[in-house]
Each structure stands twice: as structure tokens, then as C-alpha cells.
Structure 1
Amino acid sequence: MVIIFGLLGWAIRYKEAYFLLSGFATMTEAEQKEFLENRYPQKVGSMLIITAVGTLLLLPLLFTSFPYAAEIIFGYTLLFIFGGFIYLSKYELKHKRKKSYIISISLFVLVVGGVSALMIFTYQDYEVTLDNDQLEITGMYGQQLPIDDLKSVELLDEMPEIEFKTNGVGVGTLAKGHFNVKGYGNSLLYIHSDSLPIILIQTNENPIFLNNQSPSVTKDWFNKLRKYLQ
């Protein structure tokens, strides 16, 4: 992302690659002249370069213990790009400015609103219920499993090494979905990495690693599961 934004900004700002700007090639000569007099291309190029530099400066956060590094970097990029295009609408062609404002603001609301809604849904905690001989884990990547599909349950003092994500979400200290776990292969995770212990449920398919932010709740889930399996 840093490389793409940086190269696009450099090409537009310093190499006059105005063909990269949507609609420039189809403008009349008079419109292109007004466009360049407003210095719209140079400002777009500068905005892309600043976005790339800002993202690059934030990247070291990924190598720290800060839990929300990826979210901050993504949020900065998203807000700077869409906010930038709203601001730059005032340098558009005079007869297109109103339309540009409407499109830019609408995209900002749709994209930022959609991403925010997804993040809220992602951060929603999960619940575990045992009823009618069935284990249910609610929320994103939730599961419903018959008790008969559960082979064993044990309480771990630490979480085995997570090697990579295959189909899941990892935000902050929360991990939900399919991850490859060292020694267990493809596994289902519903864990808060900053909380222990961890419940390991062996099933007829994938192992499930599960816990709650509250250790007492985790132990309560474990005791109920163990009782059902007995």
C-alpha cells in the first residue's frame, strides 16, 4: 500500500502522469487548462505521497506489543484518503465541484460507515451455551455442535503458538475464526490472547480453543463442558 500510494503520488506530482487521474483524458482542452491552473493533479499527488509517508511512519507499531496497531494504520489511511478527496473537491473544475463533493462525501460515509459497522460486529464478544445436548458459540464465526461431536476437553495454562490465519479475524487481543495452530493444524479460535486459561475442545473435525476475558467464566464453561462429556 505504501509503495502503490507513493509511486502514484510521485508519478502524478513530479512526472505529470495526469492520465492516471479519472476523467482527465476525456476533458476538453479548456477543461484540462483549468484543471492544471487549479493545481488539482499536484495536490492529489501530494496527498498520496503524504498518505504513503504517514503509513510508513506508523508501520513500526506492528512490531510492538500495541494491540491496535493494524487498526490505527488502516484507519489513518482510510480517513486521510477519503477526507483528502473531500477537501480537494474545491479544486475541481468549477462546474463539477458540487458533484465531486456529493460523490466524495457519499463514498466517505459509505466506506467509513461500513468499515466501522464491521469492526463493531467483529469486536462483539461471543457467548457459550450448552442446551439440548448442543454446544453453541455465538457471534462471528459462531458454531453449533452436537455434544456427541465433542471428543475431549481440557484446560490449558497457555495458548499454543498461532502460526497463521486461514479464515478469521484478529483484532487487538481478540482472535475469532480459523487459524493454524502449531501442533494442532487448522483450528477454530475464540480467544482473548491477554487472558488465561484456555479451553481446548477436541472434536470430530477441528480443535476449538476458547476462553473468556474473565478467568472465572472460562473455568465455568470448562466445568459445564466436562460435566456434559462425562
Structure 2
Amino acid sequence: MSSHLNTLRQPEKGRDGLTELIITLIVCALLFFTGVLIKYFKAYNLIAGYNTAPREVKEQIDAKGLGDFTGRQLMIAAFTPLLGYGLKRTGLVWGMEVGIGLLILIIIYTGIKAQEFNPPDAKNSSAKISILITLIIIIAVGAGIAWTAMPPAINLENEQFTISGAYGVSIKYSDIEELNLTPEIPALSMRTNGLGLGPILKGHFQLEDKSKALLFLRSASGPVLIIKRQTKAEMIMINCKDPAETRLLYHSLNKA
């Protein structure tokens, strides 16, 4: 295996970005047109909670006021994923998270504010349900981030080595085209699907030269182990919080 870092292999340009844009536009369109149906076409049964409410409760609800408010909020929320996508394309690493965060905040606010349109007897139970749902969302998101941020376990086996945990992968030694230890982390341009939490970078990223890389980085400084594969254009970058551990992994893989 060569220890010389050649020019990084180029991915198919634009395909990932176009796919992400299409998905973002679909989400935006679904939110926007749902809002239009509720506000202007009185599709009130699309409103969560109202559609399952007993008939006597529905008769006490200000359906038009609830529909106008909910529909307007959904139309506003429809633009948040697009905002996040735009921020990401301009180079803000947390762009999509900003958009998703705004979307969640709008949905939570809408759910709480919508209680004002309920009859007094139904407000308390609805408020409890809204708080419970909010807590579940916060706990689920927090648990997901914590699990993703955990250090990966790297196991060297007879014919391959395995990186366990979030974004885990198994790589056969015979598939390694180049194995390099560089003093600095190559410049990154954006995160396409992954986590950026301080010095912790994990998941799929794009380099400034448009190359793809799967990152398992625990430190913002080098050295960094770079693995280029024969079967995939996406290279792998690994480093540990302790530089000595990164060097040890490099030497262990070189002997494998």
C-alpha cells in the first residue's frame, strides 16, 4: 500500500446536491400545500387533534380560527427547510440543523398556541399531550446526537477492520489502495450527512476539492489517518483525541 497521497478521486459532481434539493423541495411543498388546504379549503380534518376529537368537542372549537392559524403556520414553516438548505450551500456547516430547528420550534409553538381554540375542558389534557410530545422529541433528538457523537470502536480482524457505531463500516485490507498519515486535516467545504460537534466530526463530508470523505474525527488537529479504497470514491479519515493512538492505528493497519 502506498503512503503517498495522490490527487483525491472526484465524485459525480452535483448529484448529491441535486438529490438533497429535490427532497427539500418536496418537504416544503407538502407543508405549504397542507397549509393551503387547511386555511383556504377548510380541510380541518388534517389538523392533528381536531380530526380525532369527539363531535361535541368539535362543536365548541373555533374551527375557522384554528384552521386559519394552523394553515398560516404551516405555510410559514414550509420555508424553513429551504432556508436551512440555502444556509448549508453558502458554507454554514450547521445550515440544515438551523432549518430543522426552526421547523421544530414553529411546530411546537403552533401546537401550544392552538390550545387557545379548544374549549376550556379540553385545554388541560391537550396541553399535557403537547408537553409530552415535545419532551419525547427533545429526548429522541438528544439521544440521537449523543449516540452519534460516541467514539467509534475500531477492531482489526484477520481479513478486514471494522469501525463500529454511527456511520460504521467494514473495510477489507485487500480493498485499501492507499494508507496515509498526514499532519493536518484536509480542508472541508461542507457536511452532506453527519455530525459536527466542536472537534468531533463524524459522517459524510465534502472536501474543498469536491472529493467525498467519511469522517471519524475526534480532534480538530492532526495527525489524521486517510484511507483510500479501490471500490469506492469516498475516502475515510480517522483520528483520535490522543495523537499517539492515531499513529498506533496507522502502524497497526500498515502491518495488517
TM-score w.r.t. structure 2 length? 0.63
Q: Structure 2 matches for 1:3-42, cutoff 5 A?
A: 3-22=29-48, 23-24=50-51, 27-28=54-55, 31-36=57-62, 39-42=65-68
Q: How many Å separate the matches in 2 of 1:133 and 1:53?
A: 49
Counterparts in 2 of 1:144 and 1:73: CA distance versus 1, 3 Å? same
Partner of 1:210: 237
* Cα deviation 1:121-174 (Å, max 9, x = unaligned): 1122325465999845343244678xxx52355117687xxxxx8xxx523383
Partner of 1:102: 128
Contact 2:154 2:164 in 1 (8 A): yes
Q: How many Å separate the matches in 1 of 2:112 and 2:52?
A: 22
Structure 2 letter corresponding to 1:189: L
Question: Alignment partner of 1:39: what SS?
Answer: helix
Structure 2 letter corresponding to 1:155: N
Q: How many Å separate the matches in 1 of 2:76 and 2:157?
A: 55
Partner of 1:174: 201
Partner of 1:200: 227
Structure 1 letter corresponding to 2:251: N
Question: Alignment partner of 1:66: what SS?
Answer: coil
Question: Alignment partner of 2:141: what SS?
Answer: helix
Number of aligned residue pairs: give it: 214
Structure 2 letter corresponding to 1:171: L
Structure 2 letter corresponding to 1:150: Y
The structure, 1 or 2, with the larger RCO (C-alpha pairs under 8 Å, 6+ apart) is: 2
1:81 to partner: Cα distance? 0.8
* Percent identity of equivalent pairs: 21
Counterparts in 2 of 1:120 and 1:175: CA distance versus 1, 3 Å? same
Q: How many Å separate the matches in 1 of 2:128 and 2:61?
A: 19
* Cα deviation 1:74-120 (Å, max 9, x = unaligned): 22212321332023223223222112111111111112211221012
Task: Indicate the RMSD between aligned Cα atoms, in angstroms.
Answer: 4.3
Of the three residues 203, 214, 228, the one matched with 1:189 is: 214
Contact 1:83 1:108 in 2 (8 A): no
Structure 1 letter corresponding to 2:150: Q
Q: How many Å separate the matches in 1 of 2:114 and 2:83?
A: 24
Counterparts in 2 of 1:61 and 1:129: CA distance versus 1, 3 Å? same
Q: Which runs of 5+ in 1 are unaligned?
A: 160-164, 180-186
Mapped pair 1:52 → 2:75: no
Question: Alignment partner of 1:6: what SS?
Answer: helix
Contact 2:82 2:99 in 1 (8 A): no
Q: Structure 2 matches for 1:114-133, cutoff 5 A?
A: 114-128=140-154
